[in-house]
C-alpha cells in the first residue's frame, strides 16, 4: 500500500534517503541545491527508486533535469501524485 | 620512439593487509594470509579509506584499486599535484571478472523483489572497466583509459600494455595494475564446479599434495613513467620495467598446454624485449597456482625458456601466501617482485613440503632466502597465465 503523497511525508522520505548516499545530514534542507549537496544523477536515480517504492510515483523524465533544490524534488513528487 | 619505463610508486591491498610493504614483509616472513580456505583482504576496512559516497560508488574490486592507487601515487609524489600534463597520463588496469559481487546482489534483488528494485548503480559498479574509470576520475587523469581483460593474466597484461603506451610516446606515465574481488558465492561455486579450487583450502604450489588454488582478493597498482621524464622531474625510481612478453596457448579454454610452450614463449619474449638473456635472470616470481596442471606446465615452461639457468635460480609463488587474486595477481605479484628484488631476497613458497615428481627446481620451500647476486643487477621475471590460454610475463629490475 503506497503512502499518502503529502509534502510532509515526501519530505521525510527524501530527508531520510539522502544521508544514505553520503550527504551531510546537517546540510539537508528544502532550499539546499543538489549541486551543493554533491547529489548527482546517479543519486537521483536511487532517490527515484525509493520514492517510487514508497509512493508509486517516479522521479524520472525531463522534469527531473530541471530540479535544482531538494524542495524542487519534493514538489515534483507531490505534484505528480496530485 | 622507444623509451625506458620506470616504476615510481607501488600500492597493494592483499590478504596480508593494506600496503605494498605489508605484503612484502609478511610474505617474506612466511605469513599465510589464507584463513578457512580463502584469501580475503580481511584487514581492508572501506571506511578507513573512503567516504560513504566513494564506497557506495565502487564495487569491492574498485575500492581495492582506489586504495592501492592512493598509496602508489603518494609514493610517486603525485598526490599534491600531477607532474605531467594530465592528457599525457593513461589509466590501464586489469581484472578477471570485475564487479561480480554487485552483479550477484543485483540478481538476488531481481529474483526476490522484482526489476523495479534493482539498484541503478548496478551497471556502473559491475562493469569490468569500473576500477579503471574510478582511478582516472579520482586523480584527473585525461589520457587513454581502459581495462584489460585476460582472466588471471589481466594485471600483468595491463602493466605490459602500459609499458607499450609509454615506449611509443603516446603518454609519459600510466597508473596501472589490477584488482579483483571475486570471493563470492557464484564465483566460489563456479570455480569449484570446475574442480579448480583446493578442497583442502591450502595453497601449496609445486607440492605433490597440492589440490587446487585458493581464491584471493585485492589489488596492485603501479605508477609507471618514462625514465627520461621521471628523471627530469627529479623522481627516484624503484624499478625499471625492462620487458613484457605475452602469448596465447590456442590450446584449451581452461587447461594449460602441458608442454609449457605458450608460457615459455611469453618468457622468452619478455627477455628479448628487455634485451637480456636467461643468464641475467636472478629470480622468477612464478604463477604457481597450486593446481596440478599449472605447476607442472609452468615448470616445463621455465625450463624451456631459461634452459640450464632454470636450475640455478630461486623460483617462488606469492600465491602460497595469499592465494590466487585472479586479475589482480599479476599486478600484486609485480609489486611483491620489485620489493623482493630491492631487498635482495627470494620470498618463500609456503606449504611446499614434498616437491612433486619432476618438479625439481628451487622453489624456495618454506623460508625466504637471500638473493646472493653480488654486483649483478637484480632482474626477475614475474609470470601470469589465465583461463583462455593467456600468458603474460614481466621482466623487472630493481633500481
* Interface contact A49-B52, CB threshold 8 A: no
The angle that helices A7-17 and A70-81 make with each other, rounded to 10 degrees, is 130
Cell matching residue B162: 602500459
The confidence score (pLDDT) of residue A82 equals 74
**Residue of chain A with shortest Cα separation from B55:** A22
Q: Which of residues 47-66 of A touch B (CB under 8 A)?
A: 48-49, 52-53
Q: Which run of H or E residues covers position B159?
A: helix B154-167
pLDDT along chain B (399 residues), means of 10: 91 98 98 98 98 96 98 96 98 98 98 96 97 98 98 98 98 98 97 95 98 98 98 97 97 92 98 98 98 97 98 98 98 98 98 97 98 95 97 98
A60: distance to nearest CA of chain B, Å?
12
* Interface contact B57-A42, CB threshold 8 A: yes
SS (H, E, C) B107-131: HHHHHHHCHHHCCCCHHHHHCCCHH
Cell matching residue B94: 586489469
ipTM of the complex: 0.91
d(CA B122, CA A45): 11
The confidence score (pLDDT) of residue B1 equals 54
Candidates A46, A52, A53; nearest CB to B121: A46
Q: Which residues of A touch B116 (CB under 8 A)?
A: 49, 52-53
Q: Which residues of B touch A38 (CB under 8 A)?
A: 53
Q: What fold characterizes domain A7-81?
A: 1.10.1200
* Interface contact B124-A42, CB threshold 8 A: yes
Q: Which of B152, B170, B252, B395 is catalytic?
A: B152
Candidates A38, A45, A53; nearest CB to B120: A45
Selected for mutation to probe chain B from A2, A17, A20, A22 (highest B CB count within 10 Å) is A22
Q: Which residues of B touch A45 (CB under 8 A)?
A: 120-121
Burial A33-55 (b: 16+ CB within 10 A, else e): ebeebebeeebbebbbbbbbebb
SS3 of chain A: helix, strand, coil, percent, to 5: 60, 0, 35
**Residue of chain A with shortest Cα separation from B123:** A42
* Interface contact A22-B53, CB threshold 8 A: yes
d(CA B159, CA B242): 11
- Which CATH code is given to the segment(s) B5-239? 3.40.47.10
Q: Which residues of A are catalytic?
A: 40
CA distances from B244 to B28, B226, B267, B269 (A): 25, 15, 8, 7
B105: distance to nearest CA of chain A, Å?
16
* Interface contact B117-A53, CB threshold 8 A: yes
Q: Which of B324, B354, B390, B395 is catalytic?
A: B324
Interface A-B: count of C-beta contacts within 8 A? 26
In CATH terms, are B5-239 and B244-398 the same topology? yes
**A21 — contact with chain B (CB < 8 Å)?**
yes
**Residue of chain B with shortest Cα separation from A44:** B120
Q: Which residues of A touch B119 (CB under 8 A)?
A: 46, 49
| A60 pLDDT higher than 90 | no
Break chain B into its structural domains and give their ranges.
5-239, 244-398
User: E strands within A1-82?
Assistant: none
Q: Which residue has the cell 523495479?
A: B116
Q: Which residue has the cell 589509466?
A: B91
Break chain A into its structural domains and give their ranges.
7-81
**A45 — contact with chain B (CB < 8 Å)?**
yes
Residue B390 annotated to the active site: no
Q: Is the pTM of this model over 0.90?
A: yes
Per DSSP, the residues of B186-235 read: HHHHHHHHTT-B-TT----TTBTT---B-BB-EEEEEEEEEHHHHHHTT-
**Residue of chain B with shortest Cα separation from A18:** B53
Residue in B3, B82, B15 with CA at minimum distance from that of residue B216: B15
The confidence score (pLDDT) of residue A66 equals 85
Q: Which CATH architecture fits B244-398?
A: 3-Layer(aba) Sandwich (3.40)
3-state SS, residue B312: coil
Candidates A22, A38, A42; nearest CB to B120: A42
Query: pLDDT (tens digit, 9 = 90+) per residue, A2-33?
Result: 689 999 999 999 999 999 999 999 999 999 99
Q: Which of B24, B145, B287, B395 is catalytic?
A: B287
Amino acid at each position: 500500500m503506497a503512502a499518502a503523497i503529502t509534502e510532509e511525508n515526501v519530505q521525510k522520505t527524501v530527508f531520510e534517503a539522502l544521508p544514505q548516499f553520503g550527504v551531510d545530514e546537517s546540510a539537508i534542507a528544502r532550499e539546499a541545491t543538489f549541486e551543493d549537496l554533491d547529489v548527482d544523477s546517479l543519486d537521483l536515480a536511487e532517490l527515484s527508486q525509493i520514492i517510487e517504492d514508497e509512493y508509486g510515483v517516479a522521479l524520472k523524465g525531463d522534469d527531473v533535469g530541471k530540479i535544482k533544490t531538494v524542495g524542487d524534488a519534493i514538489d515534483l513528487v507531490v505534484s505528480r501524485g496530485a | 620512439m622507444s623509451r625506458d619505463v620506470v616504476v615510481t610508486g607501488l600500492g597493494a591491498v592483499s590478504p596480508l593487509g593494506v600496503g605494498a610493504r605489508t605484503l612484502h614483509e609478511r610474505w617474506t616472513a612466511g605469513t599465510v594470509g589464507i584463513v578457512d580456505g580463502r584469501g580475503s583482504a580481511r584487514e581492508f576496512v572501506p571506511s578507513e579509506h573512503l567516504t560513504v559516497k566513494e564506497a557506495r560508488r565502487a564495487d569491492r574490486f574498485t575500492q581495492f584499486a582506489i586504495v592501492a592507487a592512493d598509496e602508489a601515487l603518494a609514493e610517486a609524489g603525485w598526490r599534491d599535484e600531477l607532474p605531467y600534463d594530465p592528457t599525457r597520463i593513461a589509466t590501464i588496469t586489469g581484472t578477471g571478472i570485475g564487479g561480480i559481487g554487485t552483479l550477484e546482489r543485483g540478481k538476488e534483488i531481481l529474483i526476490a523483489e522484482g526489476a523495479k528494485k534493482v539498484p541503478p548503480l548496478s551497471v556502473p559498479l559491475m562493469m569490468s572497466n569500473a576500477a579503471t574509470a574510478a582511478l582516472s576520475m579520482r586523480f584527473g587523469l585525461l589520457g587513454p583509459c581502459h581495462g584489460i581483460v585476460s582472466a588471471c593474466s589481466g594485471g600483468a597484461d595491463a602493466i605490459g600494455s602500459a609499458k607499450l603506451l609509454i615506449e611509443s610516446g603516446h603518454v609519459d606515465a600510466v597508473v596501472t595494475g589490477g584488482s579483483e574481488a571475486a570471493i563470492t558465492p557464484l564465483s566460489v561455486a563456479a570455480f569449484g564446479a570446475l574442480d579448480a579450487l583446493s578442497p583442502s583450502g591450502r595453497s601449496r604450489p609445486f607440492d605433490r599434495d597440492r589440490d587446487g588454488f585458493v581464491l584471493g582478493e585485492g589489488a596492485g597498482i603501479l605508477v609507471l613513467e618514462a625514465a627520461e621524464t621521471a628523471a627530469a622531474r627529479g623522481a627516484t625510481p624503484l624499478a625499471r620495467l625492462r620487458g613484457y612478453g605475452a602469448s596465447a596457448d590456442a590450446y584449451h579454454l581452461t587447461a594449460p598446454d602441458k608442454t609449457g610452450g605458450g608460457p615459455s614463449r611469453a618468457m622468452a619474449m619478455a627477455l628479448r624485449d628487455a634485451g637480456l638473456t636467461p643468464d641475467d635472470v636472478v629470480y622468477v616470481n612464478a604463477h604457481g597456482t597450486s593446481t596440478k596442471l599449472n605447476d607442472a606446465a609452468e615448470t616445463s615452461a621455465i625450463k624451456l625458456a631459461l634452459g640450464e639457468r632454470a636450475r640455478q635460480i630461486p623460483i617462488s609463488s606469492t600465491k602460497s601466501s595469499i592465494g590466487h587474486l585472479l586479475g589482480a595477481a599479476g599486478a600484486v605479484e609485480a609489486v611483491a617482485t620489485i620489493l623482493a628484488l630491492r631487498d635482495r631476497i627470494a620470498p618463500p613458497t609456503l606449504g611446499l613440503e614434498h616437491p612433486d615428481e619432476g618438479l625439481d627446481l628451487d622453489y624456495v620451500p618454506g623460508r625466504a632466502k637471500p638473493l646472493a647476486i653480488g654486483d649483478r643487477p637484480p632482474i626477475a621475471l614475474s609470470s601470469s597465465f589465465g583461463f583462455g590460454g593467456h600468458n603474460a610475463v614481466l621482466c623487472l629490475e630493481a633500481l
